[in-house]
Amino acid sequence: MTTTVEPKKLAILVVLLLVAALTLYFNVFSGDSSAPAPVASAVPAPAASVAPQAQIPLPGSAQPTERRRTNEASAGGEFKPRMNYANPQDRPDPASIDPTLRLDLLAKVQQVEPDAVIRNIFQYGAAPPPPSAKPIDLPRNVPRIPVKIGPPLPPPPPGPPPVPQAPPMTFKYYGYKVSKSNGRKQAFLLDGDDIIIAGENDSVKAGRYRVVTIGVNSITIEDTQFKKTQTLPLQVTPA
C-alpha cells in the first residue's frame, strides 16, 4: 500500500521542525544572548515539540545550593566545611604535599618582639599593665574657667587642756628613828643640800608635801597640790 503525502502538509511539517530546532538552539546554546528566539506567529507549534528551557547559571552568580549554605551560615547554623571540589582538577595531589615541619620558620616567629600593647603568645605570665594616659595639652587660646573658692574653713576648736602631771620628787630617803618615849617615827630626807627630818603626817617644803608613811625600806610622800603620792626607796650608802 502506497501512502501519498500532500506537498502542503509536508511544507508545514518542515517549518515546524525548523522552529523547534531554532528554539532549542537559542535556549540551550545561546542562553546569554539578549536577542529573543524567533517564534513563528503564523503556525502554532504543537506542545510535544517544545523543549523545556534549561536554566544555565551566569558567571559570578551563586548557585542555589551555595546560596542556601550562605543563608544557613548567616542564620547562625552549624558550619560544615566542603570536603569535595566542584572541579576534579582543583583537588590537590597528596603526593605533592610536604609533611616536614618548618622549625626554622617557627624560630623566626618566636624571635619577633611584639609591641608593648601586644601580648606574646609564646610567653606565659601576667599581661603587662596598660600604658598610662598622657595628659591632654590644651591649646593656648582656650580661656580658663575661673573656679570660685569659698572662704577658708575655720580651724577646729581646741581640745581640752592636758591634765597637769605632778613633777617627780627630788627627796632621798636615808633612814628613820623611833622615839623611846612615845614610839613616834621620824624620817631623814635629803633635798639637794637641805636635810629634812619629818614624822608621819608632817608637812615639808612649806606645806607642799606631806609624809604619809615611814617604812623600813621606803617612805611614801604625798604632793598636796596634785593629790598624788610617790614611794621613795631607801638609799643605801656604801660602807
d(CA 129, CA 164): 56
CB 234 within 8 Å of CB 174: yes
Domain parsing of the chain, residue ranges: 1-80, 172-233
- pLDDT, tens digit, for every residue of 36-79? 444 444 444 444 444 444 455 444 444 555 555 555 555 555 66
Per DSSP, 234 falls in state: B
C-alpha cell at 174: 636615808
C-alpha cell at 225: 597640790
Q: Give the 3-state secondary structure of residue 118.
A: coil
Only one residue has cell 570536603, namely: 83
**Which residues sit opposite 221 in a β-bridge?**
211, 230
With a cut of 70, say whether residue 94 has pLDDT above it.
yes
Please give the distance of CA 225 from its chain centroid, rounded to a whole number: 67
**Which residues sit opposite 186 in a β-bridge?**
177, 199
With a cut of 80, say whether residue 134 has pLDDT above it.
no
Only one residue has cell 619629818, namely: 198
pLDDT attached to residue 122:
67
Only one residue has cell 594616659, namely: 133
Which comes out higher in pLDDT, residue 91 or 154? Answer: 154
Per DSSP, 49 falls in state: G
C-alpha cell at 136: 591632654
**Which residues sit opposite 194 in a β-bridge?**
191
CB 177 within 8 Å of CB 185: yes
**Exposed (0-12), middle (13-18) or buried (19+): which is 198, by Cβ within 10 Å?**
buried
- pLDDT, tens digit, for every residue of 24-44? 877 766 554 444 444 444 444
**Exposed (0-12), middle (13-18) or buried (19+): which is 185, by Cβ within 10 Å?**
middle
